[in-house]
Amino acid sequence: MPSSSSSRRRRDGRRGRHPPTAPVPAEETRNWAELPLDAISAILHKLDHVDILMGPSQVCRSWRGAARDEPELWRRINMLGHADLEHELNFPGMAQAAVRRSAGRCEAFWGEYACDHDLLLYLADQASSLKSLRLISCYNFEDEGLQEAIVKFPLLEELELSLCANVGESGVFGVVGRACPQLKRFRLSKDVFYDFEASGYDKDDEALGIATMHELRSLQLFGNCLTNKGLTAILDNCRHLESLDIRHCFNVNMDDALRAKCGRISTVRLPNDSTDDYDFEVQEPVWADSGSFLGDYMGSGSDYELDSEDYDDYCDPSRYLDGVYEDELNEEDRMLLRGMHMLMK
């Protein structure tokens, strides 16, 4: 009979033995380049279009293809909200790339600092089904370019021209009214109200053009110079208005006749109403009898004079490479971007 000590050793031995340990699998890594196209597209649809041009387009071939070759992704182009990058990115160049990727299916283009004369004409040629056009702080086009483009947008339902200082002085809004019979929302916002008293200046020229937009439901004229005459013309001809905003339109005197005409409109904001919910910075009006009127009207100038060699060089498309000014990069980054550019061709 085995001793108690040997029995204890056998029990202890059995207690100490374990089955062989299975090997620990290596940590699984995900290859994002192998995601299916529909998954990549779903991710891209959640991103801002400026971010898409600057980020996913540079990830790899599959992501670049999804960002470049899926027109549905570019059907409604939104390039708002990047004002802080105005001097770092070539927004008009990026906008042309975005419109090109829409392959003729673009129905909405919203751009801040992103539209110039060439982009307007390119959009007119490539987006005949455009229904919404919102341009904010776009200074490099004038009435002539807008007139040439707008006649090619017969389906347009929404138009915004906010802080676009060079439009509105040559009857362009009458052209808009005739060319866009389905226009329902129009927004014309100035950065500051000027009390013009210049001889020959018609304060109601813009308003009389707007009065031809007979199907308007919503109209905002912020900081406009129109008078009672212009507002009366709008109210008499735009009979479907449901919302009217004429804040900071200080040449309008809301008499009993105008108040009666506005009575049928659901929402009315008057010249002196609060601007707390206004989208842009509100500046104090500049009156014609102010000693600083001329200086305030002309502005403080810019870094580049139009038509100068410096300005032409600044806007040279050859400096633009996928949203980055090449001469602002170091040599290593410049070579990397050039390589990416060649892959995308």
Does residue 304 belong to any structural domain of this protein? no
Whether 53 and 322 have beta carbons less than 8 Å apart is answered as yes
In DSSP terms, which residues pair with 220 in a beta bridge? 187, 245
- Three-state SS string over 156-198 comes to CCEEEEECCCCCCCCCHHHHHHHHCCCCCEEEEECCCCECCCC
pLDDT score recorded for residue 22: 59
Task: Supply the range of the domain harboring residue 153.
Answer: 41-174
| Residue type at position 144 | E
- Per the model's pLDDT, the better-predicted residue between 299 and 41 turns out to be 41
Which of helix, strand or coil describes residue 314? helix
| Residue type at position 284 | E
Report the C-alpha gap between 64 and 37 in whole angstroms. Answer: 11
Q: For 84-107, what is the mean pLDDT?
A: 92
Q: What is the pLDDT of residues 315-329, one digit of tens each?
A: 444 444 445 555 555
Q: Is the pLDDT of residue 198 over 80?
A: no
Angle, helices 61-68/37-44, rounded to nearest 10 degrees: 60
- Per the model's pLDDT, the better-predicted residue between 82 and 61 turns out to be 82
What DSSP designation does 213 have?
A: -
Residue 244 phi, psi (nearest 5): -135, 125
Does residue 158 belong to any structural domain of this protein? yes
Report the C-alpha gap between 277 and 273 in whole angstroms. Answer: 11
E strand or H helix at 219: strand 218-222
pLDDT score recorded for residue 314: 42
> What pTM was estimated for this model as a whole?
0.74
Q: Work out the pLDDT band at 24, boundaries 50, 70, 90.
A: low
CB burial of 285-315 (b: ≥16 within 10 Å; e: otherwise) equals: ebeeeeeebeebeeeeeeeeeeeeeeeeeeb
Does residue 128 belong to any structural domain of this protein? yes
Please provide the DSSP assignment of 27-92 as one string. PP---GGGS-HHHHHHHHTTS-HHHHHHTGGGT-HHHHHHHHS-GGGGSEEEE-S-GGGTTTS-HH
Report the C-alpha gap between 75 and 207 in whole angstroms. Answer: 32
Report the C-alpha gap between 279 and 277 in whole angstroms. Answer: 6
Does residue 159 belong to any structural domain of this protein? yes
- Per the model's pLDDT, the better-predicted residue between 28 and 63 turns out to be 63
Q: Work out the pLDDT band at 37, boundaries 50, 70, 90.
A: low
Q: For 309-319, what is the mean pLDDT?
A: 45
Whether 229 and 198 have beta carbons less than 8 Å apart is answered as no
- CATH number of the domain where residue 47 is located: 3.80.10
Q: Which residues are CB-contacts of 295 (< 8 A; sequence separation ≥ 6)? A: none
Q: Work out the pLDDT band at 125, boundaries 50, 70, 90.
A: very high
Whether 151 and 121 have beta carbons less than 8 Å apart is answered as no
Q: What is the pLDDT of residues 70-79, one digit of tens each?
A: 888 899 999 9
Q: Is the pLDDT of residue 213 over 90?
A: yes
Does residue 130 belong to any structural domain of this protein? yes
Q: What is the pLDDT of residues 239-291, one digit of tens each?
A: 999 999 999 999 999 999 999 999 999 999 999 999 999 999 999 998 877 65
Does residue 52 belong to any structural domain of this protein? yes
pLDDT score recorded for residue 30: 61
Does residue 131 belong to any structural domain of this protein? yes
**Total domains in the fold of the chain:** 1
Q: For 3-14, what is the mean pLDDT?
A: 47
Does residue 7 belong to any structural domain of this protein? no
pLDDT score recorded for residue 202: 85
| C-alpha gyration radius of the chain | 30
Q: Is the pLDDT of residue 129 over 60?
A: yes
Q: Work out the pLDDT band at 40, boundaries 50, 70, 90.
A: low
